[in-house]
Amino acid sequence: MILIHCPYCDEKRPEIEFANAGQAHIARPIDPSGESDADWETYLFIRANPRGRHHERWRHVHGCGRFFNAVRDTVTDKFETTYKAGEPRR
Amino acid sequence: MSGFRLETGGRVDRNQPVQFRFDGTSYQGLEGDTLASALLANGVMLFGRSFKYHRPRGILAAGSEEPNALVSVDRGPGRFTPNLRATGVEIHAGLNAVSQNRWPSLKADFGAINDRLGMFFPAGFYNKTFMWPRSFWDKVYEPAIRQMAGLGDAPTAEDPDHYASTYAHCDLLIVGAGPAGIDAALGSMDTNKRIILIDEQDELGGGALADPALWPWLERSHKALIDAPNVTILTRTTAFGYYHDNFIGAVQRLTDHLPKPGDGAREKLWRIRAGEVVLAQGAIERPLVFEGNDTPGVMLSSAAKIFATRYGVAVGKAVVLMAAHDSGWHDVFALAKAGVGIAAIIDVRERVDSALMQEAGRLGIAVHLNHSVMGVSGRHSVRAVQICNNDDYLARRIDCDAVLMAGGWTPSVHLWSHSKGSLKWRDDLGAYVPDQPNENVRCVGGCSGDWDFGNGAVIDVLPTPKDHSRIKAFVDFQNDVTAKDIKLAVREGFRSIEHIKRYTTNGMATDQGKTSNLNGLQIASSALDKPVPDIGLTSFRPPYTPQTFGALAGHAKGALFQPTRTTNIDSWADAHGAVFELVAQWRRARYFPKSGEDMHAAVNRECVAVRSSVGIFDASTLGKIEVVGPDAAEFLNRMYTNPWKALEPGRCRYGLLLKEDGFITDDGVSARLAPDRFHLTTTTGGAARVLNMMEDYLQTEWPDLDVWLTSTTEQYAVIALQGPNARKVLEPLVEGIDLSAEAFPHMAIREGMICGIPTRLFRVSFTGELGFEINVPTAYGRAVWERLMAQGAQYDITPYGTEAMHVLRAEKGFIIVGQDTDGTVTPFDAGLDWAVGKKKPDFVGKRSMARPDIVAPGRKQLVGLLTDDPNVVLEEGAQIVADPKQPVPMTMIGHVTSSYWSETLGRSIAFALVAGGHEMTGDTLHIPMPGKTHIAKVSGLVFYDPEGARLHV
């Protein structure tokens, strides 16, 4: 069981306290109605599936309840870093 | 020597005889024996039948790597454990073990005919043979294969034992308490580290238990470790898996070795998080590959030494060693000194260390260098071996009753590999050893490869003059894989060991190839003429040895498998004969049958009561979220399809929640209590999901909004009071709220008191009747319910369950998200476009409602269905076609989502999702069912009181 560092609690906790919430840094468009069909499709459905570094969102759902961002290696399953929502991409 | 028990020696207690049974025969062993050592002491060589060929099999090893001697232990009803290694079963008074994979008996086994037909069962036999004819698969092949497959029998009765589990944390976890593991523990004992030392055997020592010279050291070390307050020793505990971040799973066996199981847990699952892990798993000796190497009495040389020195048991009276490694010589010398008769030493090598030759000479043991065993006489036990010179194949026979194999050593890298540590090949060992770690872990002792195993030759198959394609020289004993199977796989084009493994099943048995992987690799390497590292290595995966389902499940079974959520009113429903159903994790009353009533009679009565007088319903399971803050209305406006900003405090609104893809995900009535405070409700199953979704948007998309979300689902008991007499029942109990239609209209909320308890009183209806939903603090739920029952008695107040609730809401055309929608239904599809705020610039899912696929014609839309025969209640899930005469397979245009008998209407009603359904009102559709095709006409969704006259009273 992986240990994940929650940047809000500033503690490493077992992964069962957390829930994955998909790829990170996909901002909802400010004006969705102004988006073309193609752009909206990309926002809704198109996701990266990298081999290696992957930016994703996690929620400390059975802890502080906060969403945060993480860089995880999809090959080794190791977390490189975690950081608060709203902070720049690492 | 009595039988095969040596006169002296061993760690068994010669003053403690133990009676036990094997295959119905009573035997005597000694305290400290395993089933294997005790049976060997009684001269029993035959332990089981092999998996595929049903060949007679004995003991190969002395530890958990044993592939052959699998037995079942029967401790009474429900306590039947198959596939235990006889080498790990400690005997106790009354132990009842039976052999496996044989019929009618171990000595006369019908399946052994497979051995004679072996030429018809090559590698890939199943893949090649059962391809045709197709029709044979269901009736002939599969039942036959199922009959033959598997090892022991699965237990049939429920397991009466219970299993404990615990979490543990330590600075240093040591796996394996042989000399290397004990040294590691002693070395860290005087630090302030918390240390856990684990070993799968019944006592510490590992290999030292078979070396009497080390016993004094072992005793001193054991005492020192027991006395150290920072050291926890877990024996009879198998570390079965190594997971991320030094998380190790281990199972401790607590009662299997005791004469009586007792009341305590049978096993305990340890989940250990360690700062550092030291692996001291040791090494496993490799068998040699030659014809007849699976005959009972052919075993690992190290195993024979363990049986003699640890258990005081001779594995034979005239023992032959077949060696490719020095360690076998040392084992045999130890056996000779313990009083075991040695017939000869045969070594495949041309020359060995002169010291070995001298010691053999001194002990009077005949030695045959540059020779190999080419055959074994005897079927149920060894009678003789045929050996041949490796150069001229000149053969001779040596009479013997046991053959020991010394093929070199394989470091146990199982847990290291679980941890994703890398491996490197060592030519001198003919084995992989640990290289770079992936966790904070190191290997010590034999499993590290850094250990003096002595000299040896690495060899794939022993030389023989016989035709290699006609002999059975076993590599994987448990799965019956021979050297020729691996060569056949290579001939048929397999190159990667991962493919060879799957084609031949080498290493795929329950022992995971502990004794077979390296020999298989060597044979494939020779056949491919490539070095072993170029062929690869198969992965080791948890568990290291098989573990019980019980240990892994722990307490999570039966009622504790998952929590059942109950409301405060549940106990009343239980006491009044409710029939329950599970909705998500909630236990809900489905209906309240009176004596003699079946479900339909009860539901009909409950529905009629609500329509004609008053019904009472426990709605406490509704999801509830308190939304508070200056931006609460703005937030809800962005989340829900409906407009919220203009909703006045004291009023309610039906809210429809979409996902960003435009499909309905939840709904519920919500109330505005104050300008900055809303009381939301969600579906029973959707509460957590909706809160998560709202938190997501609030935290990550709109962190500028000043809003708090709090789950209040379990803070309120909710009682729905529904029916024309609802107000009359409620009125005398309520203080501070004017219940009149003018003061308290439909879709309003008031705060006040009921029965002296503060309440949030909703005037809402999921039945189409005058209705109230009374929210009180959870602890008061049942008390208020009982007061309402008493007050309503004069109106024959009737408790109703979820089934009647479903019928009543369907009569009114109210949908249930998740039943009438399935994640592909838009508000328009569901006929809920009235709930979409057209003027709102944005809300979650709005943009998707203009996606090309969403606006395209032909989408499945929710409609009502009325069967031509009013007595036919369609099956929910039934498929719908337009033309029943079309050829099979028919084109399905939709399916029934809800279907009920409506006692109020005197006929059946249904909802269905039908392609283009909104344009089909009045059309006839067909629902083919087994034996009959039903006919129905498309209608609107509202079957009862379409004007809503009964609501606004």
Whether the CA torsion B4, B9, B13, B14 is positive or negative: it is positive
From CA B515, how far away is CA B298, in angstroms rounded?
14
Task: Answer yes or no: is pLDDT of B1 > 50.
Answer: no
CB proximity under 8 Å: A 15-34 to B = 19, 21, 27-28, 31-33
Q: Which residue has the higher pLDDT, B622 or B558?
A: B622
Burial B450-466 (b: 16+ CB within 10 A, else e): ebebbebebbbbbbbee
- A66 neighbourhood in chain B, CB within 8 Å: 699
pLDDT at B248 over 70: yes
Strands B267-279 vs B441-443: parallel, antiparallel or unpaired: parallel
Would you state the structure tokens that stand for residue B696, as one six-digit string? Answer: 């997501």
In this prediction, residue B131 carries a pLDDT of 63
pLDDT of B905 above 80: yes
- Tens digits of per-residue pLDDT, A62-82? 999 999 999 999 999 999 999
**Least confident residue range of A69-78, B114-123, B586-595, B609-618:** B114-123
Contact: B851, A57; criterion CB under 8 Å: no
Pairing between β-strand B860-867 and β-strand B932-939 as defined by DSSP bridges: antiparallel
Full set of structural domains in chain B with CATH: 13-126 (3.10.20.440), 166-280 (3.50.50.60), 467-538 (1.10.10.1100), 601-809 (3.30.1360.120), 813-939 (2.40.30.110)
* pLDDT band with cut points at 50, 70 and 90 for residue B149: low
pLDDT at position B105, please?
79
- Whether the pLDDT of residue B431 is over 60: the answer is yes
The number of angstroms, rounded, from the C-alpha of B420 to the middle of its chain's C-alpha atoms is 22
Residue B147: pLDDT over 70? no
In the stretch 43-82 of chain A, residues with CB closer than 8 A to chain B read 44, 57, 59, 61, 65-67, 76-77
Which DSSP symbol is given to B697? I
Query: pLDDT tens-digit profile of B761-804?
Result: 999 999 999 999 999 999 999 999 999 999 999 999 999 999 99
Residue B151's pLDDT band (cuts 50, 70, 90): confident
Nearest CA in chain B to A21: B696
- The string of pLDDT tens digits covering residues B26-69 is 999 999 999 999 999 999 999 998 888 889 999 999 999 999 99
In this complex, do A67 and B696 lie within 8 Å of one another by their Cβ atoms? yes
Q: What's the DSSP call for residue B585?
A: T
With CB atoms and an 8 Å threshold, state whether B842 touches A67: no
Beta-ladder partners of B735 = B753
Distance from CA of A2 to the nearest CA of B (A): 5
Q: How confident is the model at residue B935 (pLDDT cuts 50, 70, 90)?
A: very high
Q: Where are the domains of chain A?
A: 1-26+52-90
User: What Cα–Cα distance (Å) separates residue B700 from each residue in A85, B631, B766?
Assistant: 6, 16, 35
Contact by Cβ (8 Å): B702, B635? yes
B539 pLDDT tier (thresholds 50, 70, 90)? confident
pLDDT greater than 70 at residue B118:
no
Contact A76 B420 (CB under 8 A): yes
CA distance A41 to B170: 50
pLDDT beyond 70 at B243: yes
pLDDT value, residue B19 = 97
ipTM of the complex: 0.98
Chain A residues in contact with B841 by the CB 8 A cut-off are 31, 33
The partner residue sitting opposite A44, judged by closest CB among B661, B692, B850, is B661
pLDDT band at residue B365 using 50, 70 and 90 as cut-offs: very high
Q: Nearest 5°: phi and psi at B702?
A: -125, 55
Give the closest-approach CA distance of A90 to chain B in angstroms.
Answer: 17
Report the C-alpha gap between B549 and B536 in whole angstroms: 32
* Per CATH, domain A1-26+52-90 is 3.40.190.10: no
Answer whether A40 sits within 8 Å of B703, measured CB to CB. no
Q: Residue A2: its chain B contacts at CB < 8 A?
A: 244-245
Q: Is the pLDDT confidence value at B126 over 70? A: no
Å between B718 CA and nearest CA of chain A: 26
The answer to whether the beta carbons of residues B159 and B82 sit under 8 Å apart is: no
Average pLDDT, stretch B329-336?
97
* Token couple for B852: 């090309």
Mutation to test the B interface, candidates A4, A8, A26, A33, most B Cβ within 10 Å: A33
Q: Verify whether the Cβ–Cβ distance B842 to A33 is below 8 Å.
A: yes
Distance in angstroms (rounded) separating the CA atoms of residues B556 and B579: 25
Rounded mean pLDDT of B317-327? 97
| φ, ψ at B210 (rounded to 5°) | -100, 15
CA distance B950 to chain A (A): 40
Task: Give one DSSP letter per residue of B56-111, joined into a string.
Answer: EE----SSTT--S-EEEEE-STT-EEEEEETTT-B--TT-EEEE-S-SB-SSSBGG
Q: If you average pLDDT over residues B471-490, what whole number do you get? A: 95
Q: Determine the residue of chain A that is closest to B702 in CA distance.
A: A28
Phi, psi of B515 (to 5 degrees): -105, -5
Q: Give the residue-averaged pLDDT of B265-271.
A: 98
Q: State yes or no: pLDDT of B20 exceeds 90.
A: yes
Best mutation target among A40, A58, A89 (most B Cβ atoms within 10 Å) is A40
Supply the pLDDT for residue B384.
Answer: 98
C-alpha distances out from residue B624 to B49, B106, B502, B689, B908, Å: 62, 65, 53, 12, 33
pLDDT value, residue B134: 67
Chain A residues lying within 8 Å of B700, measured CB to CB = 57, 67, 85-86
| Chain B contact for A5 (CB, 8 A cutoff) | no
